[in-house]
Amino acid sequence: MSGKHSLIRSGTTVDQMVRAIGDRIVTGYLRPGEKLDETSLAARFDVSRTPVREALGQLSAMGLVERRPNRGAIVAVVTQEHLASMFESMAELEAICARFSAERMTAAERRALETEHQASARLVQLGAEEDYEYFNTEFHSRLYRGAHNTHIHDLTVMTRSRLAPFRRAQFMLPGRLAKSWQEHDLIVTAIMRGDSVAAGKAARDHVSIVSEASAVFAADDRKPIRRDVA
């Protein structure tokens, strides 16, 4: 949510805290279950506890942080079951975006999607994981925007960010890039010919496969939590 605000280079300390802490969670620098001590965070960012508290409250409202009254906040811990439910939701949301994209993308949007997608083929050949990941993100963002529905866009982006910590691992899997590109290709092809049903299905399958890949890592990765905020 708050889609428009996230673009703003906000001056308020609270928003900076939300972004700072949120980023660290989403990028996996802060791991699920890790304790978020108000005083330490305040010291770490050189602000008072108030903005940190407000930020934790907002992150809690977003689901990234879990707050136990009087007992502090921790990075939200997701159970296997909840993780699965998020991936399943993600698949459905992406399916909706792809379906709507197939029906509603403007000519310019279709062109841009296809162009960028074709360009990314080069990155697959080179095995440029990092760069491909960037294109991958951009690719999916195009689908979300192409749906021309701000609320679905917000829900999807939000869900995606909550899944982010569990997705990074997948790229270590060998052959993943080529597979991903082919799946994208199915989606693009369907969208280009305006086949909303096929686009939806292709997008859903794409996420499902990512989900399976990530689930493997989610299983073990979770034990060694205790770690201090630097």
Partner DNA sequence: CCGGAGGCAATTGCATGCACTTTTTGCCTT
Partner DNA sequence: AAGGCAAAAAGTGCATGCAATTGCCTCCGG
Comparison of 12 and 137: residue with beta carbon closer to DNA: 12
106 binds a second copy (CB under 8 A): no
Q: For a second copy, which residue of 7, 46, 69, 228 counts as binding (CB under 8 A)?
A: 69
How far is residue 230's CA from residue 219's CA, in Å, rounded to a whole number? 26
Q: For a second copy, which residue of 109, 114, 116, 154 counts as binding (CB under 8 A)?
A: 154
Helices (H) and strands (E) in the chain, counts: 9, 3
Which amino acid, one-letter code, is at 94?
A: E
119 binds a second copy (CB under 8 A): no
How many CB atoms within 10 Å of residue 76?
19
Which amino acid, one-letter code, is at 120?
A: S
Answer whether 184's CB lies under 8 Å from 117's CB. Answer: yes
Answer whether 114's CB lies under 8 Å from 207's CB. Answer: no
141 binds a second copy (CB under 8 A): no
Provide the minimum distance between the beta carbon of 157 and a second copy in the complex, in angstroms, as a whole number.
Answer: 12
Q: For DNA, which residue of 47, 62, 84, 215 counts as binding (CB under 7 A)?
A: 47
22 binds DNA (CB under 7 A): no
Provide the minimum distance between the beta carbon of 59 and DNA in the complex, in angstroms, as a whole number.
Answer: 13
Comparison of 67 and 222: residue with beta carbon closer to a second copy: 67
Q: At what angle do helices 129-146 and 80-104 cross, to 10 degrees?
A: 60
Provide the minimum distance between the beta carbon of 5 and a second copy in the complex, in angstroms, as a whole number.
Answer: 8
> Measuring CA to CA, which residue among 187, 207, 209 is closest to residue 197?
187
Q: For DNA, which residue of 19, 44, 53, 201 counts as binding (CB under 7 A)?
A: 53
Answer whether 229's CB lies under 8 Å from 40's CB. Answer: yes
Q: Look at residue 38 and give the partner it binds from DNA, a second copy, none, a contact being a CB closer than 5 to 8 Å depending on partner kind.
A: DNA
φ/ψ (deg, to 5) at 37: -85, 125
Q: Write out the residues near DNA by the rule CB under 7 A.
A: 12-14, 36-39, 47-51, 53-54, 67, 69-73
